[in-house]
Structure 1
C-alpha cells in the first residue's frame, strides 16, 4: 500500500487514499530534518486506520450507544463495530477514497452510493481538501445528504499528536463537558468543568488519563512542547462545537475537533440542547475548516 505526499518549505503531509484518505505522517522541517508532529504510522502501512496519524470521522463522530438511535419517530439500528456493541467513528475511515493531488494540496472525495455495505441508513458524500499554506495545514470538509429524506449528521477529525518533543502543555476554552459511564457514553447533560479537567489556562496534560468530550468549545486550542520551542495552534470553524481530548495508550495526545457530542443523536432525540447535531435536508450540506499551525517559539 502506498502513500502520496504533499509538502512545502515548512510542512510535509503523507496521505493514504485506500485507507480513508487518512494521514500517515504530518511533519515540520527543522534544519535538514523532518520532525513528526502527529504520531508516525507503522510501516508497512496497515489496512486499518486505528494506528494512523489522523483519520476522518463521518457521517457521525465517536460512539453511538448500542449502535442504535431514534430520529423523527423511527429507530435505526447500525452494525456494531466495538467490543461493547457500539457504533464508533462513522464509516469513511477504512474506505478507499478518490484523491487528486498537486504539490501542496490534495482533493479527496468519498461517495457512499458506490458501496453496498456502508453502515448508515442514508446515502451521503464527503469532500475533503488538505492544503498546506506556509506553516499551516488546512483541512476543509463538506458532507452532503444524497438521500430523499432528512438525516442527522456530523463529522470530525481524529489527529494524534506526539508527546515526546517535550512536556505537553495544553490550553483551550469550553463551556462544559459530558460526564460518561464506564462505556464512555454520556450519562447526563453537559456539566460545568471541574478544576482538574479545566484547561482554560495553560497546564501540563500530565499523567492523568483523559477521554472527554468538551462542549461549547471556543474553536481554539494551543499545544506547546516545553523545551522544544515548538507550538501547535489548532483552530476550527464554529461548526466544530466540541473538542475530544484523549490521552492514547501509546503515549500520544488526540485533540479531536468534532461537530457533535458523543452519542449525540440519542441526546438530540431526548431533547438535550447544545449537542451539535445537524439535520441535513435532501441535498443539504454541512461544511467547516480546521487549521493546524506550527510555530517556532
Structure 2
C-alpha cells in the first residue's frame, strides 16, 4: 500500500478518528463536531510511542490480568510473561504491545492487522481491527484467529480512555460485580448491589473502582455536559462484560467492553457462558463489533 502516514485520520460527517497503528494498533483521538470524546493522545506520548497515553487500544488474545502469570488448560500449565512494569503480572495480553500493520485504508475505513507467533508466551494468533467511520459513529470489528497447533482459550476487548470531567455521568445495565483482589486481580462475582448499579445513570464513584461488571447488556452511555455531547457504546452479544476503572486521583477513567470476565483464566471454568472465554481450535476465529456513537446532549 505504500507508506501510510500517522496519524491515519478517518472522516465522515462531523466525526474524525485518528489511528496510530505503530502504537499498539490504537486510536489516538475521537472527535465529533470538534469535541474530543476520548482522551486525546498528546504530542509527547505520540513521539515517545507511549501506548498508555492513547485514546483506545485493543486487548488480545484476552482481556485484563492473569494471576501468577499462569493458568491450567487441557491438562497443561501455560505461562505468560509480565508485560507492563512495574506491574509483575501480564495485563491485557500482547496485542497492545506491538505495532500493527495497515492492511487497507480509505477516507472512512481502515483495517489493521497483527500476526503473533508463540515464543515466551504460548499464543499464536492473527488479529484484525476493522474501523468504519460514518455520520452515526465509529464501528470497530475485532477478529481473532488461533494460528497455533492446539486449542486455546481466548478473549478480546477494547480499552478506551476518557477525560474525567467533573460533571461526567455513566449509565449501563449489568447483573454481577466482580470483587477486586490484590494486584488488580478480579475475584469472584457478587450480586450487583444498589450502590454499585449504574442502570439509572450516575456520576463516577468518589472512591477507587477497578471492577468487572458481568451480565452486561451490551450498551453504555457516557455524558459530558460541559462539552455538550455524549457517547453511546453498543457492543455485540459476545461482549458479556464491561470493566470500569475510575481512580479519583487521575484525570481519566476507562469503560472497557470485553468478551471474557476479568480473572476468568485463573478460575478455569472454560465452558461457563458467564465467564465468556472463547476456546478456539487451530484455524478457528471469533469476532465482534463495538460501535461508539456521539450525540448532542438533549438528543
TM score, norm. by length of structure 1: 0.91
Query: What is the CA–CA distance in structure 2 between the aligned matches of 1:65 and 1:23, rounded to whole Å?
Result: 28
Pairing partner for 1:95 from 95, 98, 104: 98
User: Residue 96 of structure 2: SS of its match in structure 1?
Assistant: coil
Determine the structure 1 residue equivalent to 2:281. 281
| Deviation digits for residues 204-232 of structure 1 (CA, Å, limit 9, x no counterpart) | 11532211100110000011123543121
Instruction: Work out whether residues 169 and 204 of structure 1, in 8 Å CA contact, stay in contact via their aligned partners in 2.
Output: yes
Determine the structure 1 residue equivalent to 2:24. 20
Query: What is the CA–CA distance in structure 2 between the aligned matches of 1:22 and 1:52, rounded to whole Å?
Result: 7
Go from structure 1 to structure 2 and tell me whether the alpha carbon gap of 1:203 and 1:5 turns closer, same or farther (over 3 Å shift): same
Determine the structure 2 residue equivalent to 1:138. 139
Aligned-pair CA distance for 1:237: 0.2
Determine the structure 2 residue equivalent to 1:128. 129
| Deviation digits for residues 15-55 of structure 1 (CA, Å, limit 9, x no counterpart) | 111112211111111xxxx2111101121313231111110
User: Residue 81 of structure 2: SS of its match in structure 1?
Assistant: coil
Determine the structure 1 residue equivalent to 2:40. 40
Instruction: Work out whether residues 269 and 275 of structure 2, in 8 Å CA contact, stay in contact via their aligned partners in 1.
Output: no
User: Residue 109 of structure 1: SS of its match in structure 2?
Assistant: strand
Aligned-pair CA distance for 1:184: 2.0
Determine the structure 2 residue equivalent to 1:239. 238
User: Residue 191 of structure 2: SS of its match in structure 1?
Assistant: coil
Give the CA RMSD over aligned residues: 1.9
User: Residue 43 of structure 2: SS of its match in structure 1?
Assistant: coil
Q: How does 1:1-297 map to 2 (within 5 A)?
A: 2-29=6-33, 34-44=34-44, 45=46, 46-82=48-84, 83-99=86-102, 100-113=104-117, 117=119, 120-164=121-165, 167-188=167-188, 190-248=189-247, 249-269=249-269, 274-296=274-296, 297=298
TM score, norm. by length of structure 2: 0.91
Instruction: Work out whether residues 268 and 277 of structure 1, in 8 Å CA contact, stay in contact via their aligned partners in 2.
Output: no
Structure 2 gaps of 5+ residues are: none
Query: What is the CA–CA distance in structure 2 between the aligned matches of 1:212 and 1:187, rounded to whole Å?
Result: 9
Query: What is the CA–CA distance in structure 2 between the aligned matches of 1:206 and 1:68, rounded to whole Å?
Result: 32
| Deviation digits for residues 249-294 of structure 1 (CA, Å, limit 9, x no counterpart) | 5322211000011121111258866111110011111100000100
Structure 1 stretches of 4+ with a deviation exceeding 3 A read 269-273
Query: What is the CA–CA distance in structure 2 between the aligned matches of 1:207 and 1:254, rounded to whole Å?
Result: 15
| Deviation digits for residues 111-167 of structure 1 (CA, Å, limit 9, x no counterpart) | 113xx75x5313110011111111311000000001121010000000012233x61
Instruction: Work out whether residues 70 and 269 of structure 1, in 8 Å CA contact, stay in contact via their aligned partners in 2.
Output: no
User: Residue 240 of structure 1: SS of its match in structure 2?
Assistant: coil
